[in-house]
Structure 1
Amino acid sequence: MADLDQTHARPDGATDEDVAATGKLSEMLERIERARGALYEFHQLMGGADAMLDDVVDTLRAGGHREWAERISRELVGRNAIEGRWSFQIVEEFDDSYYGPLKDTERALREDLVGGRRHVFEAEMKAERRTHGHSAHSATP
């Protein structure tokens, strides 16, 4: 397609199937990026919530409720989010066991099938859907 910049143009030899497969894997990665963001949000919310327990314990102690303060301190302060893991460990395990290999595989597939180019599928869709000659539909900046 003549109106695509070299960064997004389909390289010679790349088939429709190559572009579709790399595009779909990239779309899947984008969803995992969002899931990863939610996981980091979980991590930060857990840390902040755990820190709030210090105020609960201090307030209970100040109010003469030593038994409750001790119970909450013993049972909840610093508790694992899941067995054996705080939230930072969950994030690290996800990054190491799933996210990292996915990123590496997606990059390798793009390198092999479409010369490492990103968003080839979307760039071709833009070229097909834009109104040629319309100022808000320019091919490139």
Structure 2
Amino acid sequence: MTDDRRAPDSAHARPEGASDELVAAVGRFSEALETVERARGALYEFHQLIGGAHGMLRDVVDELRSAGHGEWAERIRTELLGRNVLPGRWTFQIVEEFDDGYYRLFRDLERGVRDDTMAGRRHVYEAEWKQSLRGPRMAGYDAAP
């Protein structure tokens, strides 16, 4: 009797006729997308950090004014609070432009290549790597849950 947990994962199997070079290239494209996903997370973190800093500036203005430094409070209020971080843009606009442009195109192209060459299967390269490292009847090395 075959243990189904030991069988190769068909959802990640190499499509018929796909060469090693193609599997590696598509895997590399997916890895590049994962890196862009991390960059996107950093961009959202930047967006939230700048927003948080601007929230703090409101308190700074009030505190400086209360401490008798109204001239500094006024400069911060008029020169920095609410200022664009890039010409004409707050961070929400940067995030939206990134998401609607570069990120969407990158994601769509990666998906298109994967759909066309790997039958839509994800992580074929990694699944083959996992399979190559598995030994017979080794606990904790099942092909699938």
Range into which the TM-score falls when normalised by the shorter chain: over 0.9
1:94 to partner: Cα distance: 1.1
| Inter-partner Cα distance in structure 2 for 1:140 and 1:97 | 36
- The list of structure 1 runs, each at least 4 consecutive aligned residues, that deviate by more than 2 angstroms after superposition, is none
Choose which of 92, 96, 101 in structure 2 pairs with 1:92: 96
Q: Secondary structure at the match of 2:140?
A: helix
Identify unmatched segments of 5+ residues in structure 1: none
Aligned length: 140
Kindly provide the amino acid, as one letter, of the partner of residue 110 in structure 1.
Answer: R
Cα distance per residue 1:102-128 (max 9 Å; x no partner): 000000000000100000000000000
RMSD value, Cα: 1.2
| C-alpha distance in 2 between matches for 1:70 and 1:51 | 16
What's the TM-score, normalizing by structure 1? Answer: 0.95
Which residue of structure 2 lines up, in the alignment, with residue 58 of structure 1?
62
2:3 alignment counterpart: none
User: 2-side partners of 1:45 and 1:13: how far apart?
Assistant: 48
Separation (CA, whole Å) in 1 of partners of 2:63 and 2:144:
60
Stretches of structure 2 that go unaligned for 5 or more consecutive residues are 1-5
Give the TM-score normalised by structure 2.
0.92
Per the TM alignment, residue 64 of structure 1 is displaced from its structure 2 partner at its CA by 2.2
- Partner-residue secondary structure (3-state), 1:137: coil
Paired residue type of 1:108: G
Instruction: Report % sequence identity.
Output: 61
Q: In the TM superposition, what are the counterparts of 1:52-131 in structure 2 within 5 Å?
A: 52-131=56-135
SS in 2 for 1:136: coil
**One-letter amino acid matched to 2:135:** T
Equivalent residue number for residue 48 of structure 1: 52
Letter in 1 for 2:140: A
